[in-house]
Amino acid sequence: MVEELTQSRNVIIRSVQQETYAEEIQCIRSQRDIPKDSSLWKLKPFIDGDGLLRVGGRIQESKLGYEEKKPLIIPGRNHVASLLVQHYHVESQHQGRHFTEGALRSAGYWIVGAKRCVSSFIFKCITCCKLRGTCEVQKMADLPPDRLSMEPPFTHVGVDVFGPWTISARCTRGGHAESKRWAVLFACFSIRAIHLEVIESMDSSSFINALRRFLVIRGPVKHIRSDRGTNFIGACKDIGIFSNVDEDAMKRYLAEKGCIWTFNPPHPSHMGGAWERMIGITRKILDSMLLQSRPSRLTHEVLTTFMAEVMAIMNNRSLVPLSTDASDPFILTPATLLTQQCGSHPIIPGEFDSKDLYKRQWQQVQSLANTFWDRWRKQYLCTLQSRKKWTFSRPNIVLGSVVLMRDNQVKRND
């Protein structure tokens, strides 16, 4: 049985070698040099007693076996090479290219162009894709019009809830009763300002109260974006923005209120990066403040004060790199447009006529707003032009594609 398998192997390999390397075999038999343009020129091949091409090489004096010292030459573009790669790749338990090539060399086979052949097979291996495949990503899309509009602040916002923090709600006879608080972040898409509201629970009613406080302070909103949190969906149903029963009723409400609420798809968190990034920075600032103050008992009032200070710090950050020009002291920050001030300035001494007070104030405010939008357009908008990642277009998944769904909620090793 072993002899029959060996003879069958020799017949197949001899046929493949004669089909691909007929000229090289003729040169070896006539004791002529192999042409330098041949892929076997550096291997110094010879023909063994069975009429098979083997590698000559420089390790003849090693203590390795005959098959390893003088492996059989297999053309890499032949179907036999693919079968050998498949066999030893499965035998090595679907490891990488180096493991598969090592198994081939140990078995006594020298595949010409083995790197390309093995890599091509591993790339198409279904089992390897299941074990080590990466998720498909598409080229980064263009920015939505919300991010590029020059409308008033908080016309287009992104909403999310983060927390919680444990606070001391009230003093009792046995100690302190503790409860939790969360924060709702409203992020303006155009000037990148934020607004924070503290809520007592994650239900829809608490969020609606926070939304009402936000609208009273910041004014009407045209477009709201968020993830599919249950409190957001419940709030939309409660205030009538969404209607799952009558589509026409939803359209009428949107037309009357002029407000649109867009939910992101369930899993891609990167679609909310405009406000997720703000949450990350807010957390860092708040953690630093809590670490420095070290309050014995964090109360609702203290937490609300901290949120207001965090909001002020975030809205006073520069949107573009600071200029080193001394004649350009204007810093482009979200607070510039929100407060209509460039910072705290002392009162200028002098006498002013009351009839020009409102006129001059209006001109000053309008000039400051025009300056902000002019610099926003010239300095900040151009920084959004380039794509930091996801720069190449990929083939889309179409009907009939075989895919492996990845669920981040599954436990490890399941």
For residue range 317-361, what is the model confidence (pLDDT) as tens digits?
Answer: 888 877 666 666 667 888 888 876 655 444 444 444 444 444 555
* Cβ-contact 161, 202 below 8 angstroms: yes
What integer is the mean pLDDT of 105-114?
A: 92
More confident residue, 356 or 403: 403
> Which residue ranges form the domains of the chain, and what is each CATH number?
2-132 (no CATH), 145-315 (3.30.420.10)
pLDDT reading at 363 higher than 80: no
- pLDDT class of 175 with cuts at 50, 70, 90: low
Containing 263, the helix (H) or strand (E) segment is: strand 260-263
- pLDDT class of 64 with cuts at 50, 70, 90: confident
* Cβ-contact 6, 18 below 8 angstroms: no
SS3 230: helix
pLDDT, residue 109, reads: 94
pLDDT, residue 383, reads: 83
Q: Which amino acid is at 261?
A: W
Q: Is the peptide bond before 220 cis (omega within 30 degrees of 0)?
A: no
HSE-CB at 273 with a 13 A cutoff on CA atoms is 8
Phi and psi for 314 in degrees, rounded to 5? -65, -40
Average pLDDT across the chain, whole number: 82
Q: Which parts of 40-174 are beta strand (E)? A: 46-47, 53-54, 72-75, 109-112, 156-172
SS3 342: coil
Give the list of residues 6+ apart from residue 340 with CB closer than 8 angstroms, or none: 365, 368, 369
pLDDT, tens digit, for every residue of 229-274? 776 776 676 666 653 334 455 445 445 667 788 888 877 777 888 8
pLDDT, residue 231, reads: 66
pLDDT reading at 198 higher than 70: yes
| DSSP single-letter state for residue 341 | -
What integer is the mean pLDDT of 118-133?
A: 90
